[in-house]
């Protein structure tokens, strides 16, 4: 069987399995916007954990993180584990999101902010912030799929065809049953991602080095420069990459929306616990994969080619290479469809219902949400197509991902303050999000790093200062703050939450 046919067959099986799962999920689909976008807040712990993992971990892991490890060494492990440790924010904030989501019926974190600060503009700006910065992030996933499939199939699948395929699959899966089909296909994809990467690592270690012990010894002997301290990471690069990732769990709406979906406290605990175990294993596998590539194919011109180059080696059986490719495809598509769904819910609720048409019925709101999904998919595709044509951008997956996360970081002070600071105001939230986003965009576009610090670091400092200063100069929504925080105080105590 030719390589192209082999790849196409694997993709066909993967898509057919996903459609079957999505159609099964549709049987549970009820009516209404909460059902479509939140699974009626009734998702079990196992599926919640896997959809959280599949949404969080994208093509970045086995391509971008492996590439970073290949190029800069062990610091890549540190910065990705810093993100995983950032999940402590979910341990602190997750129950708060979950509780107020049920109490006040929030659909998105932007709606939570608009209600808490008692100004619709806060929700609209928060939603726009997510749109601006998540579109490039989603487009990177599409682009990553294009390069991966074109590379592994040795050109049998063209770049453009691979990108169209990715968008279509994400579109179909998110439309079949909304969050339910996305969550269920995510669960399937998370299993594929983990098993495929573990199998590949096993082959790499045993056929490439004769076992894990020898693999680690080889690392000591041949690439000590990548193991000393943080490897070749400079502190400002490490900090600049780690900081946006640290706050990822409370800044990215496709992730915060998942804090609304577990059906019970037990399901919530299973979601966090399951994700932590998944994240630990998947991070370790991706980093070891990068080190393996450095030892076996040391002279690549671009670090992000490490995974395709490793998969092309004879030590990795063709079937395993194809399964890994499907695993990476799954990682990317599960992120794209989750972003599609979350952004469309924000367009429907925060921009349309709370901004343009206050009297819109739930049915109308849902119709708008569904109509936005294909529009966003086209925008993702156009952006990916444009970026793929630019020399230099094509293989900058890690920095581009970090840049998108840096922009979303500007919503963090307003989110944290909503739960803790009675004195916080809408003006403070608005100025911090707008001011921070403008600064980050300006620094990103100009490529400026004052004092060597990355845009996200500057943006976070400035937007926090703006949030505090402007809040202190303006009047807070006393009544709402009291109701919101009082409810949380009592509910947190009853559930023994910290």
Partner 1 sequence: MGKLFWGWVVWFLFLFALDFTIPFIGFKHVPKVTGSFLFWILWIVVAIASMFLIFFRWRENHDNNEGDHP
* Contact footprint for partner 1 (CB under 8 A): 32, 34-35, 40-42, 74-75, 77-78, 81-82, 84-85, 87-88, 91-92, 95, 99, 101-105, 216, 219-220, 224-225, 227-231, 235, 238-239, 242, 246, 264-266, 268-269, 272-273, 276-277, 280, 284, 420, 491, 494-498
Helix, strand, or coil here: 43? strand
Check if the beta carbon of residue 332 is closer than 8 Å to that of residue 57: no
Tokens for 234, please give them: 């400079």
Indicate the residue among 238 and 395 with the shorter CB distance to partner 1.
238
Indicate the residue among 163 and 243 with the shorter CB distance to partner 1.
243
Q: Number of helices (H) and strands (E) in the chain: give both, helices first.
A: 24, 0
Indicate the residue among 128 and 237 with the shorter CB distance to partner 1.
237
Indicate the residue among 227 and 393 with the shorter CB distance to partner 1.
227
Shortest reach from residue 493's CB to partner 1, in Å: 9
Indicate the residue among 155 and 495 with the shorter CB distance to partner 1.
495
Cα separation of 128 and 274, whole Å?
31
Cα separation of 254 and 250, whole Å?
10
Shortest reach from residue 439's CB to partner 1, in Å: 23
Shortest reach from residue 414's CB to partner 1, in Å: 19
Tokens for 5, please give them: 């046919």
Q: What secondary structure letter does DSSP report for 156?
A: S
Shortest reach from residue 96's CB to partner 1, in Å: 11
Any alpha helices (H) in 297-411, and if so which ranges? 306-311, 318-346, 362-388, 397-408
Shortest reach from residue 84's CB to partner 1, in Å: 6
* Torsion sign (Cα): 402, 466, 458, 421: negative
Q: What count of other Cβ atoms lies within 10 Å of the Cβ of residue 91?
A: 14
Shortest reach from residue 483's CB to partner 1, in Å: 14
Indicate the residue among 227 and 312 with the shorter CB distance to partner 1.
227
Shortest reach from residue 269's CB to partner 1, in Å: 5
Angle at 428 between CA 423 and CA 429, to 5 degrees: 105
Cα separation of 311 and 306, whole Å?
9
Cα separation of 146 and 312, whole Å?
17
Indicate the residue among 391 and 494 with the shorter CB distance to partner 1.
494
Shortest reach from residue 433's CB to partner 1, in Å: 24
Cα separation of 85 and 78, whole Å?
10
Indicate the residue among 124 and 272 with the shorter CB distance to partner 1.
272
Shortest reach from residue 235's CB to partner 1, in Å: 6
Q: What count of other Cβ atoms lies within 10 Å of the Cβ of residue 368?
A: 20
Shortest reach from residue 455's CB to partner 1, in Å: 19
Indicate the residue among 257 and 431 with the shorter CB distance to partner 1.
257
Indicate the residue among 253 and 290 with the shorter CB distance to partner 1.
290
Helix, strand, or coil here: 403? helix
Shortest reach from residue 283's CB to partner 1, in Å: 8
Q: What secondary structure letter does DSSP report for 63?
A: I
Cα separation of 469 and 116, whole Å?
19
Indicate the residue among 222 and 386 with the shorter CB distance to partner 1.
222
Check if the beta carbon of residue 92 is closer than 8 Å to that of residue 316: no
Sequence-distant (6+) residues with CB within 8 A of 97 are 109, 112, 256, 259, 260
Residue 428, CA atoms < 13 Å, CB-side half-sphere:
29
Closest CA to 204 of 142, 140, 280, 286: 286
Tokens for 375, please give them: 């529009």
């Amino acid at each position: 069987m030719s390589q192209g046919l082999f790849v196409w067959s694997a993709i066909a099986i993967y898509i057919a399995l996903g459609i079957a799962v999505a159609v099964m999920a549709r049987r549970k689909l009820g009516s209404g916007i909460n059902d479509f976008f939140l699974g009626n807040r009734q998702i079990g712990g196992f599926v919640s954990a896997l959809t959280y993992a599949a949404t969080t971990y994208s093509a970045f892991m086995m391509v971008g993180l492996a590439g970073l490890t290949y190029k800069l060494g062990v610091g890549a492990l540190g910065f990705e584990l810093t993100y995983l440790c950032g999940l402590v924010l979910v341990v602190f904030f997750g129950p708060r999101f979950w509780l107020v989501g049920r109490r006040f019926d929030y659909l998105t974190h932007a709606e939570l902010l608009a209600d808490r600060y008692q100004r619709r503009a806060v929700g609209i700006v928060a939603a726009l912030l997510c749109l601006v910065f998540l579109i490039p992030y989603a487009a990177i996933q599409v682009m990553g799929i294009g390069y991966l499939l074109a590379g592994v199939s040795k050109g049998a699948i063209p770049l453009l065809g691979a990108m169209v395929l990715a968008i279509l699959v994400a579109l179909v899966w998110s439309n079949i049953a909304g969050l339910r089909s996305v969550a269920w296909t995510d669960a399937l994809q998370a299993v594929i991602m983990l098993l495929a990467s573990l199998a590949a690592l096993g082959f790499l270690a045993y056929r490439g080095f004769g076992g894990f012990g020898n693999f680690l010894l080889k690392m000591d002997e041949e690439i000590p420069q990548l193991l000393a301290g943080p490897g070749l990471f400079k502190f400002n690069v490490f900090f600049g990459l780690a900081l946006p990732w640290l706050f990822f769990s409370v800044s990215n709406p496709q992730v915060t929306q998942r804090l609304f979906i577990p059906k019970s406290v037990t399901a919530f605990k299973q979601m966090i616990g399951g994700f932590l175990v998944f994240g630990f294993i998947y991070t370790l596998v991706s980093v070891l994969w990068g080190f393996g590539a450095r030892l076996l194919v040391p002279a690549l011109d671009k670090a992000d080619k490490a995974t395709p180059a490793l998969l092309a080696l004879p030590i990795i059986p063709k079937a395993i290479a194809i399964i890994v490719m499907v695993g990476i495809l799954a990682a990317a598509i599960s992120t794209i469809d989750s972003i599609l769904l979350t952004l469309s819910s924000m367009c429907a609720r925060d921009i349309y219902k709370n901004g343009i048409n206050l009297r819109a019925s739930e049915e109308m709101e849902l119709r708008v949400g569904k109509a936005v999904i294909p529009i966003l998919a086209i925008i993702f595709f156009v952006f990916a197509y444009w970026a793929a044509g630019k020399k230099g951008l094509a293989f900058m997956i890690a920095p581009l991902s970090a840049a998108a996360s840096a922009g979303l970081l500007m919503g963090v002070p307003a989110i944290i303050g909503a739960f803790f600071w009675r004195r916080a105001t809408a003006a403070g939230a608005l100025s911090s999000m707008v001011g921070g986003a403008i600064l980050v965009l300006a620094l990103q576009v100009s490529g400026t790093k004052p004092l060597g610090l990355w845009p996200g670091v500057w943006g976070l400092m400035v937007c926090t200062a703006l949030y505090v200063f402007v809040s202190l100069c303006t009047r807070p929504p006393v009544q709402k703050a009291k109701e919101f925080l009082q409810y949380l105080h009592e509910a947190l105590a009853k559930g023994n939450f910290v």
